[in-house]
Amino acid sequence: MQSLNKNWITENHIDFEYKKYILLAYLQHISENFTEKRLYPYLADLIEHYRNLRSIKDNKQVLFNQFPERLAGTDTDEFRLIYEKMVQDDNLMQEIESILDYSIPQMENSLNEGKKIYDLIEDKLKIIPIGVIPLFNEDGYIFLRSGSSSDAHVYEYHISFFENPTEKFRSIQVNFIATYEKTLMNTYEAIKSDLIRFNRNLPNPATYAIETDMAIPFEETFLPLVKRAIVKRIAGNA
């Protein structure tokens, strides 16, 4: 079991033991990835499923809407088909309640496991400004280095802003540029100077090096955490 459909509670056979088996297989897959410190997309997927379960638990209409429909008849006056939900059984609803009551705490345990790993890694991230950071820092470069490697993976980043009447949202896009070997001679400052020489569109780029001593999966963990850390850093300076 490597994924869980959004409507896994209501699809196929609705039976507590069957759904328990499906859930535990899914959570076992999640836990195996957490053990290897692979957080994404597994943590985000788990959060989405947890929120869906909480929504179903708190709003029975959400659950009702997830059930499939069957054709019940036709309305010849209005020229339309009439459908009805394929759930009317009180025992069935009680079975679903049992599944929810079991599943929500299980997912909470897995979320806590993921959050501990996330917090541990985030705490080990070191963000180093390279040179003078300009006032306009929504565009620039990030240098990523992890474990004992001397390789610095360089990305160009761009942060966008979205607003509604009550909130402001930020999103980040990154584009891989190149990998540089960081040495005593080829410092972060030297790498930044090299980038400026070849990209005249960013003559004074905001530049950050993000390092961690931990050896962690790059795509599944390091890069996603770095993106969130840079957004938080820039939002804090805004």
The answer to whether 227 and 172 are in contact (CB under 8 A) is yes
CA gap 122, 81 in Å, rounded: 54
Quote the domain boundaries for residue 38.
16-123
| 72 confidence band (pLDDT: 50, 70, 90) | very low
| pLDDT reading at 47 higher than 50 | yes
Answer whether residue 2 is part of any domain. no
Answer whether residue 9 is part of any domain. no
Domain match, 50 and 148 both: no
- Selection from 31-45, 63-77, 79-93, 154-168 with the highest mean pLDDT: 31-45
CA gap 77, 207 in Å, rounded: 68
CA gap 181, 185 in Å, rounded: 10
Domain match, 169 and 78 both: no
Q: What is the mean pLDDT of the chain?
A: 87
Q: Given this model, what pLDDT does residue 97 score?
A: 87
Answer whether residue 5 is part of any domain. no
Between 84 and 62, the higher pLDDT residue: 62
Domain match, 86 and 28 both: yes
Answer whether residue 225 is part of any domain. yes
CA gap 224, 57 in Å, rounded: 31
pTM given for the model: 0.80
Instruction: Name the domain count of the chain.
Output: 2
Between 82 and 215, the higher pLDDT residue: 215
Q: Given this model, what pLDDT does residue 60 score?
A: 66
- Quote the Cα angle for 172-178-181, to 5°: 120
Answer whether residue 10 is part of any domain. no
The answer to whether 161 and 169 are in contact (CB under 8 A) is yes
Domain match, 61 and 30 both: yes
Answer whether residue 3 is part of any domain. no
Q: Given this model, what pLDDT does residue 166 score?
A: 66
* End residue of a domain, out of 63, 90, 123: 123
Answer whether residue 11 is part of any domain. no
* End residue of a domain, out of 71, 102, 123: 123
The answer to whether 158 and 138 are in contact (CB under 8 A) is yes
Domain match, 114 and 153 both: no
Domain match, 118 and 134 both: no
Q: Please compute the mean of the pLDDT values over residues 161-185 and round it to a whole number.
A: 86
Q: Please compute the mean of the pLDDT values over residues 116-132 and round it to a whole number.
A: 95
| 117 confidence band (pLDDT: 50, 70, 90) | very high
Q: Given this model, what pLDDT does residue 55 score?
A: 86
Q: Please compute the mean of the pLDDT values over residues 29-58 and round it to a whole number.
A: 94
Domain match, 26 and 54 both: yes
Answer whether residue 115 is part of any domain. yes
